[in-house]
């Protein structure tokens, strides 16, 4: 105790002042910390899309293709094994950027199909063939929230300036507007052409930089290769941000055109895979399935669907020359995937160097299942098919495959190897068309990395997830002076915060999710799925599967569980009504039939029989659906 003297009183006073000062300093520090945290920059957003990538192509999903950067992303993040998209590219992209169903967002039918029978879709909301203004696009929402928004890559959501990425919220842009083209920017079939080509090919007026069209022949780098050039521009945008722009959170959208056909890549990368696929697609499927099982991505007892064939010649019946060309196409495909990964590594390195990586929500995905169609008969110019163009302008000899002047695709069997254990491939409503890889990395929410979640998720979830993590609300019902629809997707926050808990589900057992493109349809509730594939893709009747036991959709339960099928078709009717669909399939087939008749195209029994089969299948479907809703299920 200090004595009651002047000096003692001063000593006690000094101690009190010191203690009080420490206390207030503590409070001030807490205040500053809380204020700083409340003003922390919202998460950056990086969405990367591969075009037609198969489920098991990359190493995180059991593939043999060299993809160390995606593997690292998976090791630090989570892999989704229940992620679903639309069955084809532009509907998926509409869902990705809107957070709702493609029939609401404008891609109820792909523009390429609409152009064949425009009278059917005219005036039908949701069937505009582009990302419509009934939805608020992710770029627009984040742009209004103070984000620096940019994209480099494929758009496929509208070919006009008012429909391009700059008009829909991306401030800085290098974009290829159509659905696909030569990866070396070589289009000999268009040189000196007067007519407007099909939109799958390049030309003037379909490339945009920021808000203006550029000339694809003169305004792009001479050493153009799609994946490299898109990443070059993407990184240039990031590096050239102003001081003010660097204070903003960013939203970068990076949709590659690879590995979409034509399959092309630099020869030095192709050589890495020389001989790797000489055993054929069945051997590849078997090895990937084993790897999927070992990684815990599919159950050990999974029963895979039969290999996707489309009436192609089995591997063992091919000549040696046919095998060499087929395996070479797969080698080129692998090189394209390899280069996607290399370029993902480039943006990762940049974000690490700038200290922005760990505050960036990264999602990597494919837009649909692997492409397994046979493209020979696809019309691209008046009177010319892909096969005609290839024969006239390209060199598909073995040693030239993969070069700028080659034009190949790998066909249904290699696609089937990539989608296994699922059935079918791109453009199918079976799991092979809509079950896709998705990797997410975001350390602020992820409590543990390197895990796998089997929760059912969809591409519609990305918008609500980003908005949730950014602390933003969706702007519906009014945005920028127009009415917009709400999202149908769900936030992934519960999954990100508890990735180890396999019981976490963001879709409830009663939530209805559907798919449809010109009669190719499906509906899912919980683990139950009903699907319809019109001929020639399927039998032209509704099928029923329990995906908790049958990932390959091998055992159709439609006949043994009629009451369940009835229930699922009632759910499909709900989906039909909620999304504003109409029966485009029936009208479309009739329009094509009339078009062929007018051109003299239906001149043989095979064509008539095919259209007749389609019509009979749909009539059966309509009658059966009505009877189901009335509770009158028949015996057959």
Q: What is the DSSP letter of 60?
A: G
**Residue 156 is among the residues annotated as catalytic for this protein:** yes
For the record, the structure tokens of 521 come out as 């349809």
- Helix (DSSP H) and strand (DSSP E) numbers for the chain: 20, 20
Sign of CA dihedral 580, 582, 584, 585: positive
Distance CA 472, CA 588 (A): 41
Contact 177, 206 (CB under 8 A): yes
Tell me whether strands 451-453 and 78-80 are parallel, antiparallel or unpaired: parallel
Closest among 530, 492, 538, 495 to 513, alpha carbons compared? 530
Distance CA 246, CA 46 (A): 15
DSSP 454-492: ---EEGGGHHHHHHHHTT----TTEETTEE-PPP-----
Catalytic residue among 84, 103, 156, 233: 156
Q: What strands lie across the sheet with 528-532, from one edge to the other?
A: 513-517, 520-525, 528-532, 542-546
Q: What is the DSSP letter of 308?
A: P
Contact 577, 560 (CB under 8 A): no
Catalytic residue among 89, 109, 251, 438: 89
Contact 613, 533 (CB under 8 A): no
For 478-514, b where at least 16 C-beta lie within 10 A, e where not — what string? ebeeeebbebbbbbbeebbebbeeeebbbbeeeebbb
Element (H, E) at 93: helix 89-98
Beta strands in 38-101 (DSSP E): 44-50, 78-80, 83-84
What Rg value do the Cα atoms of the chain yield, rounded? 27
Within 10 angstroms of residue 611's Cβ, the number of other Cβ atoms is 17
Residue count of the chain: 636
DSSP 383-433: TEEHHHHHHHH----GGGTTSTT-----HHHHHHHHHTTSS--TT-SSHHH
Tell me whether strands 360-366 and 207-209 are parallel, antiparallel or unpaired: unpaired
Distance CA 49, CA 258 (A): 9
For the record, the structure tokens of 87 come out as 């069955």
Distances in whole angstroms, Cα of residue 514 to Cα of each of 13, 430, 438: 75, 12, 19
Compute, in degrees rounded to 10, the torsion defined by CA atoms 464, 465, 469, 472: -10
**Residue 438 is among the residues annotated as catalytic for this protein:** no
Q: Annotated active-site positions, please?
A: 89, 156
């Amino acid at each position: 105790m200090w004595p009651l003297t002047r000096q003692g009183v001063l000593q006690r006073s000094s101690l009190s002042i010191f203690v009080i000062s420490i206390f207030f300093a503590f409070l001030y520090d807490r205040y500053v910390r809380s204020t700083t945290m409340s003003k922390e920059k919202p998460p950056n957003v990086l969405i990367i899309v591969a075009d037609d990538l198969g489920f098991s192509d990359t190493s995180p999903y059991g593939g043999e293709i060299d993809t160390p950067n995606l593997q690292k992303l998976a090791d630090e993040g989570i892999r989704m094994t229940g992620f679903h998209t639309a069955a084809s590219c532009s509907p998926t992209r509409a869902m990705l950027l809107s957070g709702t169903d493609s029939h609401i967002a404008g891609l109820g039918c792909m523009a390429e199909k609409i152009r064949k029978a425009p009278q059917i879709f005219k005036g039908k909301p949701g069937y505009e063939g582009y990302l419509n203004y009934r939805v608020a696009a992710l770029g627009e929402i984040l742009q209004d929230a103070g984000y620096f928004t940019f994209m480099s890559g494929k758009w496929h959501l509208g070919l006009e300036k008012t429909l391009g990425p700059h008009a829909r919220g991306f401030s800085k842009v290098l974009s290829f507007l159509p659905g696909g083209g030569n990866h070396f920017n070589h289009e000999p079939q268009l040189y000196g052409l007067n007519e407007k080509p099909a939109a799958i090919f390049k030309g003037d007026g379909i490339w945009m930089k920021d808000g203006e069209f550029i000339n694809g022949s003169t305004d792009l780098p001479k050493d153009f290769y799609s994946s490299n050039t898109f990443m070059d521009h993407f990184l240039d945008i990031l590096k050239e941000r102003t001081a003010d722009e660097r204070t903003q959170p960013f939203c970068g959208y990076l949709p590659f055109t690879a590995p979409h056909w034509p399959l092309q890549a630099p020869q030095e990368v192709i050589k890495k895979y020389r001989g790797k696929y000489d055993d054929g697609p069945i051997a590849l499927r078997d090895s990937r399935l084993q790897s999927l099982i070992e990684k815990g991505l599919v159950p050990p007892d999974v029963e895979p669907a039969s290999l996707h064939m489309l009436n192609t010649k089995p591997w063992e019946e091919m000549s040696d020359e046919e095998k060499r060309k087929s395996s070479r196409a797969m080698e080129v495909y692998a090189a394209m995937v390899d280069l996607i990964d290399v370029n993902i590594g480039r943006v990762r390195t940049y974000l690490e160097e700038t200290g922005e990586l760990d505050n960036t929500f990264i999602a990597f995905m494919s837009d649909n299942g692997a492409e397994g169609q046979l493209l020979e008969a696809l019309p691209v110019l008046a009177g010319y098919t892909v096969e005609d163009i290839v024969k006239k302008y390209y060199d598909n000899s073995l040693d030239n495959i993969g070069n700028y002047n080659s034009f190949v695709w790998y066909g249904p069997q290699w696609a089937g190897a990539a989608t296994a254990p699922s059935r079918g491939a791109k453009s199918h409503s079976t799991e092979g068309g809509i079950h896709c890889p998705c990797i997410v990395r975001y350390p602020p929410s992820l409590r543990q990395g390197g895990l796998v979640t089997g929760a059912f998720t969809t591409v519609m979830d990305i918008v609500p997830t980003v908005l949730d993590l950014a602390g933003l609300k969706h702007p519906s019902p009014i945005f920028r002076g127009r009415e917009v629809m709400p999202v149908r997707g769900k936030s992934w926050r519960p999954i990100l915060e508890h990735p180890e808990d396999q019981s976490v589900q963001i879709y409830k057992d009663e939530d209805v999710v559907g798919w449809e493109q010109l009669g190719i349809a499906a509906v899912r509730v919980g683990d139950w799925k009903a699907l319809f594939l019109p001929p020639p893709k399927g039998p032209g009747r509704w099928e029923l599967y329990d995906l908790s036991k049958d990932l390959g959709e091998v055992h159709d339960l439609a006949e043994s569980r009629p009451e369940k099928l009835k229930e699922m078709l009632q759910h499909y009717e709900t989906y039909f009504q909620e999304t504003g669909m109409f029966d485009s399939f029936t009208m479309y087939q009739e329009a094509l039939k009339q078009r062929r008749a007018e051109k003299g195209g239906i001149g043989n029994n095979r064509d008539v029989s095919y259209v007749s089969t389609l019509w009979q299948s749909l009539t059966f479907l309509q009658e059966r659906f009505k009877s189901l809703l009335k509770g009158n299920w028949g015996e057959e």
